[in-house]
Amino acid sequence: MSNLAKRTLFQTIILSALGLFPSSTAFAEVFVPPFYAAVAKMKPEGNLGTIIKREKISTTVLGAQAWRIAYISSDLRDRPTISTGLVVAPIGAAPKGGRPVVSWAHGTTGTAQNCGPSQVENPAVPLNQYFVVGGNSWTDYGIPALQELVDQGYIVVASDYQGLGGGGVHHYAIAATQARDVINAARAAGDLREVGASKKALIYGWSQGGGATIAAASSGDYINRKGTAFDGIEMVGFVAMAPPDASTTMPSGGINEATAEAMLEGVAKNFSSNVFDFAHLTMNLWATHAAFSDKLQMSDLFTDEGAKVVNEVMSNKCMHVAADTLHYTFGDDFTSLMKSDPTNAMAWADALIVGSGTKEKPIAPVIVYFGSKDVTVPPIMGKLYRERMCKMGGNVARVQLPGEQTHFSTPGVAQPLYLPWVADRFAGKSAANGCVGE
């Protein structure tokens, strides 16, 4: 009997003896607050960006007012969805011409319905990170530089993304879907008429949200669609902190079955050194299957047990709890959930690349911030992204943060650097050519 089998048998005996062994229906519907439970029962009907439910909430941000919202969005294959989130705006009458809109794209929180950052008790606050000293929650929530942005007279909107409170399965790390959520969040801010949004908007994001940000920069056709709740948005810039870009893992010379298998094996190896990274990998693969279920099967990559475990865990638990569950249950044998030889590799590789959403030239200046000690999202991804976009004629700057910054210190250290950059974009100043030098 293997060590894994022995461990599982031992856990089964102990849990059964205590009367705690779960039944086949143990994974019940995830609890969400009433606002989100009501939204999950609604149909995704209406124009992109239309607010279909709203709730005024309190905020400690000075001079600000805040709402929870649910609004219409769509995924990367144009299927209608509902996303939830927050709008935080200055109090008082808007100036002539309206207030600029800043749309925040958050980092990884998980894949279950209760993982949306707006669901915490006091969500309309500056960014509060799980990993850093000063964090006070089991998850990341809040919005970076929120007080400073409100003080500048901006409206700030923060999407939870689809599947994190509005029903459906979350497309974790499928940046092309999250890009649409943050674009439609800006439209939703315009649909909240009393806050006085202007047509000028900017997107900023970190980690998972950094990927969403660069994907949004390549979404010109989607941004320019007509018939939305707030047509004519002018994106003036994109701030991406530690952005992942799956398309940078594509082998040179294109994809065939052999190179696709090598690509998947490389990705799996890079994200299997510890259970925390492996949880990110399994969330992404689980979500990719959901987005392309007509082309992909979980059994292509996972064992029968692995497919069942991943589905149950990712449907019911947020990021850090999911990683803890995999570690508790499988110890160092967590990689046994995956097959040693993947099948249907070409379809999986293609889906991951399509999901990155970075095929087109950025429609406005992009600035990428990264830390030299980031081992969560390798900085090489941002480097390769910049090189590819610059060859297309885009304007992409890349800035290494001072000191030895990790993935999780990136938002705080980058903040004083991007705030003046944001102000310059809204002021109509031209951005320096980011494709010159490094």
pTM, 2 dp? 0.92
How far is 178 from 157, CA to CA, in rounded Å? 14
Q: Residue 233 in contact with residue 186, Cβ under 8 Å?
A: yes
Backbone angles phi, psi at 125, to 5 degrees: -135, 170
> Cβ contacts of residue 269 below 8 Å, gap of 6+?
none
User: Strand 197-206's sheet: what is its strand order?
Assistant: 51-57, 64-74, 80-90, 155-159, 99-105, 197-206, 234-241, 366-370, 396-400
Give the start-to-end residue ranges of the domains of the chain.
34-243+400-426, 248-353
- pLDDT on residue 105: 98
| Tokens found for residue 26 | 């143990």
pLDDT at 270: 86
Supply 302's token pair.
């996972």
pLDDT digits (tens, 9 = 90+) for 403-434: 999 999 999 999 999 999 999 999 999 999 99
190-195 LR contacts (CB < 8 Å, sep 24+) = 190/49, 190/101, 190/229, 190/230, 190/233, 191/49, 191/50, 191/51, 191/71, 191/229, 191/230, 192/51, 192/54, 192/67, 192/69, 192/87, 192/89, 195/65, 195/87, 195/89, 195/94, 195/99, 195/155
Q: What is the pLDDT of residues 351-408, one digit of tens each?
A: 999 999 999 999 999 999 999 999 999 999 999 999 999 999 999 999 999 999 999 9
Of 248, 184, 179, 243, nearest to 376 by C-alpha is 243
Per-residue pLDDT at 248: 86
pLDDT for 147 equals 98
Q: If you classify domain 34-243+400-426 with CATH, what class do you get?
A: alpha beta
Q: Which residues of the chain have pLDDT under 50?
A: 1-28
Specify the 3-state DSSP secondary structure of 235.
strand
Per-residue model confidence (pLDDT) at position 13 = 33
Distance, C-alpha 317 to centroid of its chain:
16
Cα–Cα distance, 428 to 438 (Å, whole number): 24
DSSP secondary structure of 39-103: HHTS---SSTT-EEEEEEE---STTEEEEEEEEEEE-TT--EEEEEEEEEEESSPPPTT-EEEEE
Torsion of CA 206, 207, 212, 218, to 10 degrees: 90
